[in-house]
Amino acid sequence: MKYDFNKIEAKWQKYWAENQTFKAVNNSEKPKYYVLDMFPYPSGAGLHVGHPLGYIASDIYARYKRHKGFNVLHPQGYDSFGLPAEQYAIQTGQHPAITTAENIKTYRRQLDQIGFSFDWSREVRTSDASYYKWTQWIFIQLFNSWFNNDTNKAEDVSTLEAVFASEGNTNVNAVCDDNIEVFSAKDWNAKSSEDKQKILLQYRLTYLAETEVNWCPFFGTVLANDEIVNGVSERGGHPVLRKKMTQWSMRISAYAERLLQGLETIDWTDSLKESQRNWIGKSVGASVSFNVLANNENDSHVEPVEAPHVIDVFTTRPDTVFGVSFMTLAPEHELVSKITTPEQKSEVDAYILATAKRSERDRMADVKTISGAFTGAYAEHPFTKEPIPVWIGDYVLAGYGTGAVMSVPCGDERDYAFANHFNIPIINIFDGVDISESAFSDKDKTVIGNSDFLNGMNYKKATKRAIYELEQIGQGEGKTNYRLRDAVFSRQRYWGEPFPVYYVKGMPQMIDAAHLPINLPEVEKYLPTETGEPPLGNATVWAWDTEKNEVVSNDKINDTTVFALELNTMPGWAGSSFYFNRYMDPENPNEMASKEAMDYWQDVDLYIGGSEHATGHLLYSRFWQKFLFDKGVVPVDEYAKKLINQGMILGTSAFVYRIDKINFKSEKDGSPFGWYELEKTIIVSKETRSNKDFIKELFKETLAANNSLDKKSYDYVVGNYDEYKVNITFSSLHVKVDYVNASDELDVEALRLDSEFGKEYVDAIFIGEKGEVIKGNNDVYKVGREVEKMSKSKYNVVNPDNIVSDYGADSLRLYEMFLGPLEQYKPWNTAGITGVHSFLKKLWKLYADDNGLKVTDATPTKDNLKTLHKTIKKVQEDIENFSFNTSVSTFMIAVNELGAQKCTSKDILEPLLILISPYAPHISEELWSQLGYEGSISTVDFPTFDASHLVESSKNYPISFNGKMRFTMELPMDMSKDEIEAAVLANEKTQEQLGGRTPKKVIVVPGKIVNIVG
């Protein structure tokens, strides 16, 4: 009986599929357990070995829980809307649905061959109409809701309308747009339908508004904040501009506080929670209003006018309000044009223009340079009534707070630098602090002075008092500010969910949920229209007939009952924000999931996925869950109890080093002699790159021989080598890791023939470590190595298909786990897989040899039992701590020990199989059935640990002298402290170590160690 892993794995994968072994039921006697993976976007490149890491870990856990008697839900699906399929469609004309379906097929094949215990009957695809029906449905629910600050939850818009009709909006405490008009019930009832709709839109949880968005010209679409990294797009690194557009937004800011508080209740990693906290960015302080003084040109004296402009600022330090010596507005602030004096206009305009020209990136890269301009205007200090100059400066961001700050140079580094740069006076309001060198911002040590009613107070007291005084004069109040911005929800793309929205007189209308889904229309091409509309503008059948309640041809729009549909589509995160709920009841045509299903499954017990989604998916999905909870749709307001971030598996790239240029310079005066464009590509090795002598050899043996240099130059260089400085520039070029063996040796001939690299290497000269030219098969060229992210462009991608066919899925699973801790980043090295592969072969040999099964009914020995129970204990602990790498080691030790013990006992080998089954399910199933069992091993009870088998009668004590271990001594466990001490001191080795001296002290820790202090 041979371990034919390919045959065994195919057999059991077929068995699991045919018997629906891992199908979860929505009610059961067993306790429930929900293990979720972040579903993949099915890219055209397929899976590489890095992708399944988290899936393997979650699969082990799911299988373990089944052994432990749980009803396990372990689903998988596809986040199948997205940019790459659309980019591909633009290039080839191929419908993204076709590309996506093909990619999913590849993914499914690859996932199946790794032997996951997914319940595929629950598969979801976000691009399926039967799925996005519910994405659209949730959108409608959001549109029909507003956030009531009094109840701290979302409520139906109809309640808001009722309040408006009966008492206006003065008493409504809602999260809504900033500049909302105040109206009475009478006002409201007198308004036209359009006006009412406009006002309601300012309250809805998803709303249409002209907002400044991140526009990416390359993709022709807007991007969310979390899709931008360092001022460029996360995908592809394309530039991003600020642009004003009318877009759908999600009022996630309404949930800022609850998103923050909710973090306390869930078991997610600290770093991830910290990321979300930073992203939410709560700061507590006050808003303060400053009245702008009217400018009297004939007099330097200034005084307020009747209806002055008001500059609102947010500050975390209201206690320093007496230290304000100027104000700074963001250059984009709307008041700038209104308050700038004629004399300052040209300067201010020039500054605004200069700032607008600077890209976001420049602005971020250059934070040190201080720049700004004086508007000529003054504002009045709320307490001292002194005039305060109003400046603009780009260190104040339009997007944060109110886009304006009260500048307190004595207490803020940036204000300090700004004041110094422009010679603005600095007022010191801190007792006993020298601010001649820098600002003082230590809240804890603050004692306020020179500040009227705040004198002598500490930070806490002064803050409270300042807010109280501001409230008294109606020029401020306590306020909490969040960095979290509302999320733009429109994308100018084709391959996304269509909105269930049509427009009447410019106002958005929801299609009744009964008519969902609104299917994505067909278009001729996937690019924006000539008039700059999104791709859906190309659809000819894309209008809503309000009588027939169906999508009809655009040319009917002139009918009074047919209206234009929304042309934007939803962003990538829409579909992924509730999929974990849909898995609970994925085929339900009437509800997102039935109440019974959601009440049964409740929430995800274990969620595994990448940390790159910290401020995107993992925040948006928590937001939607809280909203759905408010609406009574879902039973819990946090959907994932525990979340683990798997680390990335990195690729080990292979490099060759190409000579780009050779420069010669005189050693004497540095004057250049020239440089050579090389006729042939020359590839040197990592070592020769830094070896000066090789250059000489290079010229002698290679360049001259290949006529790369003319004779004169050759003589010149080689003959007078010492007189010339030779500078060589190299390029490090990625080559395919497939052509490199375990010893880093490159298959040069294969590389030459690879058309993917063009003609680059066909005639290239390869030079080895010692400067020798690589000719035959005996010469060795070693590549350079570097650990990088796995990516196609770096030619370092390792495909799991090859690993599975060469070593088997069980080897792949074990090896991915064996590589290191789950959360850690670690490099992939295919060569190492032989270790786990030979472990599986050894495991097999424990059960069977050429003559067949060798398992017997022999009574297990004490050693057998000890090995087994020690393994049960360790593996169980490891799985529960998600320390999968150490359990693989434990299995290896167990198999090595049982092999040495020549164990054939059924009572040992059967439980061992169950232990290994979550990790290596195929081999376990096969041996389990060879042992004569019917059906799958997957639900067999996990072996019970019996501590009595681990009780030792003696201990091999390490004997230390002054903390240094010298030798060991076997002593009975039941010896008393004194007996141990006596026994150790009596030992001749002890006497030898002491050399006649008497020990000062002897430390005996029974069962652990003996330390003799001399």
Tell me the per-residue interface mask from 715 to 744 with RNA, x by CB under 7 A, - otherwise: ---------------------------xx-
CB atoms within 10 A of CB 786: 16
Q: Which residue number, 29 or 270, has a Cβ lying nearer to RNA? A: 270
Q: CA 964 to CA 1009: how far, in whole Å?
A: 11
Q: Among residues 141 and 211, whose Cβ is nearest to RNA? A: 211
For residue 743, what is the DSSP state? T
Name the token pair of 449: 């002075």
| 376, 401, 508, 571: which one binds RNA (CB under 7 A) | 401
Q: Does residue 226 interact with RNA by CB under 7 A?
A: yes
Among 363, 696, 794, 906, binds RNA (CB under 7 A): 363
Nearer to RNA, 411 or 771 (CB): 411
Spatial contact of 293 and 379, defined as CB atoms under 8 Å apart: yes
**In angstroms, what CA-CA distances link 14 with 18, 120, 413, 921?**
6, 13, 67, 13
446-465: contacts with RNA (CB under 7 A): none
Q: Which 229-248 positions form the footprint of RNA (CB under 7 A)?
A: 229
Interface of this chain with RNA, residues 623 to 642, rule: CB under 7 A: none
916 touching RNA, by CB under 7 A: no
Burial of 431 (0-12, 13-18, 19+ CB in 10 A): middle
Query: From CA 257, how far away is CA 272, in angstroms rounded?
Result: 17
Site residues for RNA, 379-398, by CB under 7 A, read 394-397
Among 6, 94, 455, 611, binds RNA (CB under 7 A): 611
Whichever of 392 and 709 has its CB closer to RNA, that residue is 392
Q: Give the H or E element holding residue 545.
A: strand 543-545
Binder among 184, 707, 824, 991 for RNA (CB under 7 A): 824
Instruction: Output 95 or 842, the one with its CB closest to RNA.
Output: 842
- Nearest-10 Cα torsion for 754, 755, 757, 760: 90
50 binds RNA (CB under 7 A): no
In the list 148, 475, 625, 885, the residue contacting RNA (rule: CB under 7 A) is 885
Quote the crossing angle between the two packed helices 833-847 and 800-807, to the nearest 10°. Answer: 30
CA distance 457 to 320: 11
Angstrom distance (rounded) from CA 386 to CA 406? 14
Identify the CA nearest to 574 among candidates 137, 40, 100, 204: 137
- Structure tokens of 1010? 């003996």
State how far the Cα of 870 lies from the Cα of 849, in Å rounded to an integer: 26
Closest contact distance (angstroms) between CB of 464 and RNA is: 16
The phi, psi pair for 393, rounded to 5°, reads -160, 145
Among 215, 279, 383, 499, binds RNA (CB under 7 A): 279
Residue 889 sits in the site that holds RNA (CB under 7 A) = yes
> Which residues, 966 to 1005, sit near RNA by CB under 7 A?
966, 968, 1001, 1003, 1005
Member of 27, 246, 707, 896 binding RNA (CB under 7 A): 896
**Is residue 400 a contact point for RNA (CB under 7 A)?**
yes
Helix (H) or strand (E) holding 343: helix 342-357
Range 927-966, binding RNA (CB under 7 A): 956, 958, 960, 962-966
Contact 426, 408 (CB under 8 A): no
| Residue 395 vs 699, nearer CB to RNA | 395
Q: Which of 680, 841, 854, 906 binds RNA (CB under 7 A)?
A: 841
CA distance linking residue 524 with residue 71, whole number of Å: 48
Three-class SS of residue 926? helix
Shortest spacing between CB 2 and RNA, in angstroms:
11
| Cα within 13 Å of Cα(717), Cβ side | 28
Cβ-proximal residues to 555 (8 Å cutoff; 6+ apart), any chain: 540
Q: Parallel, antiparallel, or unpaired: how do β-strands 32-37 and 606-609 relate?
A: parallel
Q: Which is nearer to RNA, 66 or 381 (CB)?
A: 381
Site for RNA in 771-800 (CB under 7 A): none
Cα angle 25, 28, 32 (rounded to 5 degrees) comes to 85
Nearer to RNA, 442 or 547 (CB): 442
Could you give the CA distance from residue 123 to residue 104 in angstroms, rounded to a whole number?
11
**Contacts for 480 with CB less than 8 Å, ≥ 6 apart:** 257, 282, 283, 284, 285
Beta carbon nearer to RNA, 672 or 1007 = 1007
Q: Does the footprint of RNA cover residue 162 (CB under 7 A)?
A: no
Stretch that binds RNA, among 169-177, 314-322, 374-382, 421-429 (CB under 7 A): 314-322
Near RNA by CB under 7 A, which window of 42-50, 278-286, 289-297, 623-631? Answer: 278-286
Binding to RNA, residues 82-121 (CB under 7 A):
none
Site for RNA in 644-703 (CB under 7 A): none
Interacting positions 321-360 with RNA (CB under 7 A): 330
Question: Can residue 1011 be called a binding residue for RNA (CB under 7 A)?
Answer: yes
Q: Which is nearer to RNA, 578 or 818 (CB)?
A: 818
Which of 779, 257, 312 is CA-nearest to residue 480?
A: 257
414 binds RNA (CB under 7 A): yes
* Secondary structure class of 692 (helix, strand, coil): coil
Residue at token pair 């937004």: 249
CB of 800 to RNA, least distance (A): 17
Footprint on residues 459-498 left by RNA (CB under 7 A): 481, 483
The window from 405-413, 772-780, 850-858, 975-983 that contacts RNA (CB under 7 A) reads 405-413
Question: Taking contact as CB under 7 A, which single stretch among the options 533-541, 555-563, 764-772, 829-837 is the one that binds RNA?
Answer: 829-837
Q: Which stretch binds RNA (CB under 7 A): 2-10, 185-193, 378-386, 608-616?
A: 608-616
Report how far residue 38's alpha carbon sits from residue 606's, in angstroms, rounded to the nearest whole number: 11
Q: Which of 403, 498, 521, 771 binds RNA (CB under 7 A)?
A: 403
Q: Cβ 885 to RNA, closest distance in Å?
A: 5
Considering beta carbons, is residue 283 or 939 the nearer one to RNA?
A: 283
CB of 956 vs RNA, minimal distance in Å? 5
Near RNA by CB under 7 A: residue from 3, 16, 430, 818: 818
227 binds RNA (CB under 7 A): no
Burial of 711 (0-12, 13-18, 19+ CB in 10 A): exposed
CB of 320 to RNA, least distance (A): 9
Are the beta carbons of 367 and 360 closer than 8 angstroms? no
839 interacts with RNA by CB under 7 A: yes
Six-digit token string for 937: 């091993």
Buried (b) or exposed (e) across 63-86, using 16+ Cβ within 10 A?
bbbbbbebbbbbbbbbbbbbbbbb
Q: Which is nearer to RNA, 696 or 782 (CB)?
A: 782
Binding flag, residue 834, RNA (CB under 7 A) = yes
Among residues 369 and 560, whose Cβ is nearest to RNA? 369
C-beta of 46 vs 999, nearer to RNA: 999
Q: Using CB under 7 A, count the residues that bind RNA.
A: 83
The DSSP string of 646-685 is PPPEEEEEEEEEEEEEEEEEETTT--EEEEE--SS-EEE-
Which one of residues 598, 836, 909, 913 is an interface residue with RNA (CB under 7 A)? 836
Query: In whole angstroms, how close is the CB of 531 to RNA at the nearest point?
Result: 34
**454 vs 565 by CB, closer to RNA:** 454
Which among 328, 479, 308 is positioned nearest to 389, based on CA atoms? 328
| Nearest residue (CB) to RNA, 196 versus 483 | 483
